[in-house]
Amino acid sequence: MMKKKSFLSLVSILLVLSLFLAACSGGSSSSSSSNKEGGETKTEGAKTDKPKDGGTITYGIDGAPEGLFEYALYGSAYDSQILEFINEGLFTYDKKLKIKSDLATWNVSGDKLTYTFKLKKGIKWHNGDPLTADDFKYTYETIADKDYTGPRYVNVEHIKGAQEYHDGKADSISGVEVVDPQTFKVTFKEVRVNNLDNLWPYPMPKKYYEGIAVKDLAESKQVRKEPIGVGPFKVKKVVASEYVQMERNDDYWKGKPHLDGVVVKVLDPSVSAGALKKGDVDIMDVRPADLGQVEKAENLDFLEGKSTSYSYIGLRFGHRDQKAGKNVDDYEKFKDLKLRQALLYAIDRKAMVKAFMNDKAVVSNTVIPSVFWIAADQKDLTKYKYSPEKAKKLLAEAGYKDKNNDGFVEDPNGKPFTISFGHYAGPANFEGRAKAIMQAWNDIGIKTKLATGSLVEFNLYNEMKDNDDKALEAFFGSWDTGSDPDPTGLWSSDAEWNYGRWVNKESDEMLKDGLSEKSFDDKYRKDVYVKWQKFFNEQLPVLPLWENINIYAVNKRVKNVTLDPSTVVVDPEKWSVTE
């Protein structure tokens, strides 16, 4: 099953650019498909029709969780990788990123405003309490509470009455109604095609959290040390920054898992390859730069597939008025379209993918990854194929010319023109990647310097983007879009995560149409989003670079592992080991 990710958690996922090399295991069956460039991908590991019960596996992560083991509170991808084993939601997604039932079934009212959810039978929390409709009412009221400290309000704000409850003008959310212990209704303020996609799906255990103030939840032992869920594994022990030990949930509603347990272990990236080869770790994502260290290991299989993430270069167009919650288009540097086109033509993206991504990414010209059903066909988009000659021509046409013969262009007014480019710190190849981009622009005569003089610590880098730091005129970025393909939360004029502060009414109208009642027709909705992608591709408010590819290494002793576009933790209750 595929897990839903909120836009607010996406920034935590930027460094997790995982990939996989297709490998075959004797006597195993697997599912393969072709990627956009014709190569084979492998998304399913070795299978067994007679899984053995028992055994424990170690799942590796290359960073320490924050310790917020509650979906409504977490903000780190590392916490999410633990939560995937212990809790589940109302719905999940198939491999085509289409929504499907999980904890509940539902029906929709004739006016498309009210969704009635019916919880499936026999679902229990890890402490034995039954999952009830009151848990969901509690969840939505917690997230809408004025003292809530997590990042999920965006997933309940469209419920009727949520704003009034948040502002203290109501004692409950009028749009949430408990019908009976197994049934509840959610009524939205307006008809939107993705109301269900955006609704927060993960329940919180009302009875278990009883007596804990909303503002204290994040620091409670119930969240940090003794979390519970309704998933296939339950937490047995938490050792901060080291590991989380989980044991089988014998009362799991889909059936008892085969494994006795799972240990999620924190590893320094420098030792992860060795741990995989020695068998100390059974499953772990692999960074492109590290693939060569493990790809020949005889004890490992590799799963590879398309992901929902992509990388780009952002360009500064303005700043955000935080008080008004609006982006203001008041920075002139990148207003000329030919300048933006020149910047993209100057970058040899294919060579960068080969050099820095081990050929495990795909050059793209849109910000909608191809795994989504609304993605535009690349052949219908301008390719911006590497051409420094064309880049120089475009600059000259726009009036950017070297007037003092120093090798660098001045702006159309004859003033010095320099770009301050930012990139966050990370693996060793990040510095080479940043230098390659700057050199490409220097080579066409645009003087480019590294913002702050060095790569910026990841959290500080995000703060700089949040605060519209003037040093970040252009900046490297990545997004994992989650399961909802709607780009409004990232690229609408007033979106908080539209870090370049690009404001465009024509784009907004198309995005609004993509969520309208007419867009309940999938064909209509896709046509709208393809039109938007063509417009975005023509306007280039950002410079698309590539789609990332997911890769996980899986020890051959582990069976029935499947990779989806957003996670490898797919039906872990079916996993088993041969020894």
CB 134 within 8 A of CB 127: no
Same domain (yes/no): 266, 132? yes
Instruction: Look at residue 98 in the predicted model and tell me its pLDDT.
Output: 84
H or E element in which residue 480 lies: strand 474-480
Q: What is the mean pLDDT of residues 417-425?
A: 96
Give the strand pairing for 233-239 and 243-248.
Answer: antiparallel
Quick check: 4 pLDDT over 60? no
Q: Which two tokens stand for residue 348?
A: 């040899």
H or E element in which residue 437 lies: helix 429-443
CB 153 within 8 A of CB 139: no
Same domain (yes/no): 509, 476? yes
DSSP character at residue 280: S
Look at residue 564 and tell me if it is in a domain. Answer: yes
Same domain (yes/no): 148, 253? yes
Q: Which two tokens stand for residue 317?
A: 């167009």
Same domain (yes/no): 254, 365? no
Q: What is the mean pLDDT of residues 175-197?
A: 97
- CA 485 – CA 540 distance, rounded (Å): 19
* 3 state DSSP class of 382: coil
Same domain (yes/no): 554, 542? no
Same domain (yes/no): 274, 348? no
pLDDT range class, residue 40, cuts 50, 70, 90: low
500: domain CATH number? 3.10.105.10
The residues facing 301 across adjacent strands are 554
Same domain (yes/no): 299, 235? yes
Instruction: Look at residue 239 in the predicted model and tell me its pLDDT.
Output: 97
Same domain (yes/no): 311, 300? no
Instruction: Look at residue 37 in the predicted model and tell me its pLDDT.
Output: 46
User: Considering only CA atoms, which of 486, 510, 574 is closest in space to residue 50?
Assistant: 574
Look at residue 380 and tell me if it is in a domain. Answer: yes
Look at residue 1 and tell me if it is in a domain. Answer: no
Look at residue 102 and tell me if it is in a domain. Answer: yes
Mean pLDDT of the chain: 91
Burial group, residue 378, by CB count within 10 angstroms (0-12, 13-18, 19+): middle
Look at residue 279 and tell me if it is in a domain. Answer: yes
Quick check: 438 pLDDT over 60? yes
Quick check: 269 pLDDT over 90? no
Q: What is the mean pLDDT of residues 413-438?
A: 94
Q: H-type helices in 423-504, by residue range? A: 429-443, 458-466, 488-491
- CA 15 – CA 424 distance, rounded (Å): 10
SS percent in the chain: helix, strand, coil, step 5: 30, 25, 50
**Cβ neighbours of residue 80 under 8 Å, at least 6 residues apart?**
3, 5, 9, 12, 74
Q: Cβ atoms within 10 A of the Cβ of 179, count?
A: 12
Task: Return the minimum-mean-pLDDT range out of 157-171, 273-287, 471-485, 512-526.
Answer: 471-485
Q: Which two tokens stand for residue 142?
A: 């917690």
The residues facing 286 across adjacent strands are 19
Query: pLDDT higher for 269 or 11?
Result: 269
Same domain (yes/no): 218, 144? yes
Task: Return the minimum-mean-pLDDT range out of 2-16, 57-71, 151-165, 454-468.
Answer: 2-16
pLDDT range class, residue 101, cuts 50, 70, 90: very high
Structural domain range at position 417? 307-547
For 172-325, where are the E strands, in sequence order? 176-180, 183-187, 233-239, 243-248, 261-266, 283-285, 300-315, 319-321
- CA 171 – CA 168 distance, rounded (Å): 7
Q: What is the mean pLDDT of residues 443-459?
A: 95
Q: What is the mean pLDDT of residues 399-409?
A: 97
CB 548 within 8 A of CB 310: yes
572: domain CATH number? 3.40.190.10
- Helices 349-356 + 429-443 axis angle, to 10: 160
Look at residue 2 and tell me if it is in a domain. Answer: no
- CA 446 – CA 424 distance, rounded (Å): 22
Sign of the CA dihedral with 268 first, then 271, 276, and 280 last: negative
Q: In total, how many domains does the chain have? A: 2
Instruction: Characterize 524-555 residue by residue with b for buried, 16 or more Cβ atoms within 10 angstroms of its Cβ, and e for exposed.
Output: ebbebbbebbbebbeebbbbbbbbbbbbbbbb
Query: How many whole angstroms from its chain centre is CA 319?
Result: 24
Residue found under tokens 């998933």 = 231
Task: Return the minimum-mean-pLDDT range out of 27-36, 61-70, 543-552.
Answer: 27-36
Query: How many whole angstroms from its chain centre is CA 260?
Result: 30
Instruction: Look at residue 542 in the predicted model and tell me its pLDDT.
Output: 98
Q: Cβ atoms within 10 A of the Cβ of 247, count?
A: 18
Same domain (yes/no): 115, 154? yes
Q: Which two tokens stand for residue 61?
A: 């992560």
Residue found under tokens 């592992």 = 561
Look at residue 108 and tell me if it is in a domain. Answer: yes
Quick check: 14 pLDDT over 70? no
Q: What pLDDT digit, counting tens, does each position of 313-330 carry?
A: 999 999 999 888 899 999
Same domain (yes/no): 347, 434? yes
The 3-state secondary structure of 314-348, one letter per residue: EECCCEEECCCCEEECCCCCCCCHHHHHHHHHCCC
Residue found under tokens 């310790």 = 67
Instruction: Look at residue 330 in the predicted model and tell me its pLDDT.
Output: 96
Quick check: 126 pLDDT over 50? yes
Instruction: Look at residue 496 in the predicted model and tell me its pLDDT.
Output: 86
CB 51 within 8 A of CB 258: yes
Instruction: Look at residue 6 in the predicted model and tell me its pLDDT.
Output: 39
Q: Which two tokens stand for residue 287?
A: 């960074």
Same domain (yes/no): 285, 335? no
φ, ψ of residue 15 to 5 degrees: the values are -85, -10
Task: Return the minimum-mean-pLDDT range out of 89-103, 113-127, 203-217.
Answer: 89-103
